[in-house]
């Protein structure tokens, strides 16, 4: 006891701190700067196992010193100078005349790092790959180049999981818009099964033939994946992802909302009629006049010098107002001074723009004169830009009413009552949302939903319903079975992170290795 403090002295051996040295005899320990060097020696009496034939031998040929790096201790890198024996193999038929002994937990053939340090290097390589991994290892007192880190990563064996009962399959971009690859996972656990270099149906079908044993495939609406599964495993159940069904419905609903801008925009500011609206009405009239005379769509396109898809768009709508879009303006630097401009133009309709510019600059305006001129020319001073965008309107229609606030719910009700088509759209969205909860009777209820869609005046939902009928078996499976493709989408998000970490300098083999190991 010293000054009332009890001191407990414990004898701690080096083998307690570094248990991998328990099987060898430590002869010397030197600490210099940021390096801890340990000299050790293996036993002279123990027998070693020949890696060629598995026979034990204690016939010593010679000794040599191996320099093995270990995990850092106390902020110092550790190097073990280990004297090991080279022994003769006592089996005459063995292809190895001599071999070097290995110490369990300390040495590995052809390796200058201990298994513990190699485990750290592998973990860093899998997580960060080349340069970033090398920088982190330098902090951990393990100096390796980025190339060495990548070599360690590529030597890690990739797990070979058994083929699961339910596969999840999706594509991801190697170079967006140009090259795509395919990820295959276990839909139940999310475990990565394989990564294919492209998304061609022949490649996917060949992989599916080689890995038989699955019973179902969870996929999105891609036709190539559907055909690949049909060709390779016609017995497998194809399950359309429910999130993609809802996403496709949202796209169709937004086009319907755009087509009825004239109906719901009056809930907010009025539509500003311009030359584009006039041209739209004229073209709609020309197309429908030709159609009434018996001309076909292709003939209309030739006579009016329009694209065939443009003619189809005009022919699809029963009145031109559905084609007129509400103007959408982005926020500008002039918006905070709209009230001042409106008041000044009301007091003096002939006030020059230069005077208005000087006045709002005195109030803090930092934009250009050209921006102010365009703002006034577009009519945004007297009539505010639309407070409701088609996207926001669609989002209100797609959101569960129970999740809306009181003012949002009231606005949604106004939008749904804007016209009979908007009312029917809101009802169809709600009915389809109820189908996305898997239940045995959903296929029959889907038949009724499609029939009501066909009977209504919702042309874009007609196209959506046609897509459902084209892939009806997979859609029915999605509405009755509990499987979903959420885990596959999660893997895709992780792949985006892995790609950004290597900036696109890495090739597909390295990316595949990281995907399967992460």
Convert the pLDDT of each residue in 437-465 to its tens digit. Answer: 999 999 999 999 999 999 888 888 998 99
Please compute the mean of the pLDDT values over residues 363-370 and round it to a whole number: 90
Cβ(411)–Cβ(396) below 8 Å: yes
Compute the distance between CA of residue 399 and CA of residue 51 in angstroms, rounded to an integer.
Answer: 66
Cβ(315)–Cβ(288) below 8 Å: yes
Per-residue confidence (pLDDT) for residue 248, from 0 to 100: 92
Per-residue confidence (pLDDT) for residue 264, from 0 to 100: 75
What are the phi and psi torsion angles at 320 (to 5°)?
A: -70, -25
Please compute the mean of the pLDDT values over residues 98-103 and round it to a whole number: 88
**Out of 61-65, 156-160, 383-387, 396-400, which region has the weakest mean confidence (pLDDT)?**
383-387
For residues 384 and 394, the model is more confident at 394
Residue 122 scores a pLDDT above 90 = yes
In DSSP terms, which residues pair with 35 in a beta bridge? 32, 77
Whole-Å CA distances, 401 to 8, 242, 260: 69, 20, 21
Please compute the mean of the pLDDT values over residues 471-477 and round it to a whole number: 91
pLDDT single digits (tens) 272-322: 555 777 788 888 889 889 888 988 889 888 888 989 988 888 888 777 766
Structure tokens at 355: 């005077």
For residues 194 and 9, the model is more confident at 194
Please compute the mean of the pLDDT values over residues 99-105 and round it to a whole number: 88
Per-residue confidence (pLDDT) for residue 121, from 0 to 100: 93
DSSP 164-214: PSEEEEEEEEEETTTEEEEEEEETTT--EEEEES---HHHHHHHHHHS---
166-241+484-506 belongs to which CATH class?
alpha beta
Residues 6 or more apart whose CB falls under 8 angstroms from that of 164 comprise 186, 187, 188, 189, 191, 193, 214
Give the pLDDT band of residue 269 (cuts 50, 70, 90).
very low
Compute the distance between CA of residue 374 and CA of residue 218 in angstroms, rounded to an integer.
Answer: 51
Compute the distance between CA of residue 513 and CA of residue 157 in angstroms, rounded to an integer.
Answer: 9
pTM of this prediction? 0.69
Per-residue confidence (pLDDT) for residue 407, from 0 to 100: 81
> If you ran DSSP here, which 8-state letter would residue 402 be given?
G
Bridge pairing between strands 56-57 and 48-49: antiparallel
Please compute the mean of the pLDDT values over residues 384-395 and round it to a whole number: 72
Give the pLDDT band of residue 406 (cuts 50, 70, 90).
confident
Boundaries of every domain in the chain? 1-111, 166-241+484-506, 252-256+389-476, 263-377
Residue 123 scores a pLDDT above 90 = yes
């Amino acid at each position: 006891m010293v000054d009332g403090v009890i001191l407990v002295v414990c004898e701690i051996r080096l083998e307690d701190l570094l248990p991998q040295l328990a099987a060898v005899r430590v002869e010397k320990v030197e600490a210099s700067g940021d390096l801890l060097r340990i000299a050790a020696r293996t036993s002279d009496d123990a027998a070693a196992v020949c890696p060629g034939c598995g026979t034990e031998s204690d016939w010593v040929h010679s000794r040599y010193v191996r320099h093995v790096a270990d995990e850092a201790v106390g902020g110092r890198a550790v190097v073990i100078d280990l004297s090991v024996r080279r022994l003769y193999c006592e089996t005459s038929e063995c292809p190895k005349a001599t071999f070097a002994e290995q110490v369990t937990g300390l040495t590995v053939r052809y390796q200058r790092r201990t298994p513990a340090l190699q485990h750290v290097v592998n973990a860093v390589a899998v997580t960060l790959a080349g340069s970033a991994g090398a920088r982190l290892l330098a902090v951990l007192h393990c100096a390796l180049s980025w190339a060495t880190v990548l070599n360690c990563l590529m030597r890690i064996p990739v797990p070979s999981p058994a083929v699961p009962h339910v596969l999840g399959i999706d594509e991801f971009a190697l170079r967006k818009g140009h090259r795509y690859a395919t990820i295959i996972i276990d839909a139940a656990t999310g475990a990565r099964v394989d990564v294919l270099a492209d998304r061609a149906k022949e490649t996917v079908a060949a992989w599916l033939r080689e890995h038989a044993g699955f019973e179902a495939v969870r996929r999105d609406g891609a036709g190539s994946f559907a055909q690949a599964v049909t060709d390779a495993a016609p017995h497998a159940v194809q399950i359309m992802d429910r999130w993609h069904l809802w996403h496709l419905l949202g796209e169709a609903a937004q086009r319907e909302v755009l087509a009825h801008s004239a109906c719901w925009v009056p809930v907010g500011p009025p539509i500003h009629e311009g030359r584009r609206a006039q041209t739209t009405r004229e073209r709609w009239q020309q197309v429908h006049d030709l159609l009434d005379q018996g001309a076909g769509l292709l003939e209309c396109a030739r006579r009016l010098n329009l694209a065939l898809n443009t003619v189809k768009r005009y022919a699809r709508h029963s009145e031109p107002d559905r084609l007129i879009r509400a103007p959408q303006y982005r926020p500008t630097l002039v918006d905070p001074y709209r009230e001042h401009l409106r008041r000044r133009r009301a007091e003096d309709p002939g006030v020059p723009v230069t005077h208005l510019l000087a006045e709002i600059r005195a109030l803090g305006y930092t934009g250009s004169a050209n921006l102010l001129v365009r703002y006034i020319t577009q009519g945004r001073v007297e009539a505010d830009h639309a407070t409701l965008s088609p996207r926001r309107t669609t989002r209100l229609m797609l959101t569960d009413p129970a999740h809306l606030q009181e003012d949002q719910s009231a606005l949604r009700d106004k939008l749904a009552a804007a016209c009979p088509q908007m009312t029917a759209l809101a009802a169809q969205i709600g009915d389809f949302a109820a189908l996305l909860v898997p239940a045995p009777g959903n296929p029959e209820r889907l038949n009724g939903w499609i029939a009501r869609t066909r009977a209504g005046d919702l042309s874009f939902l007609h196209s959506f319903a046609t897509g459902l009928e084209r892939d009806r078996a997979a859609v029915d499976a999605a509405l009755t079975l509990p499987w979903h493709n959420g885990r596959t989408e999660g893997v895709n998000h992780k792949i985006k992170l892995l790609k950004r970490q290597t900036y696109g300098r890495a090739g597909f083999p390295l990316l595949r290795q990281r995907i399967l190991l992460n």
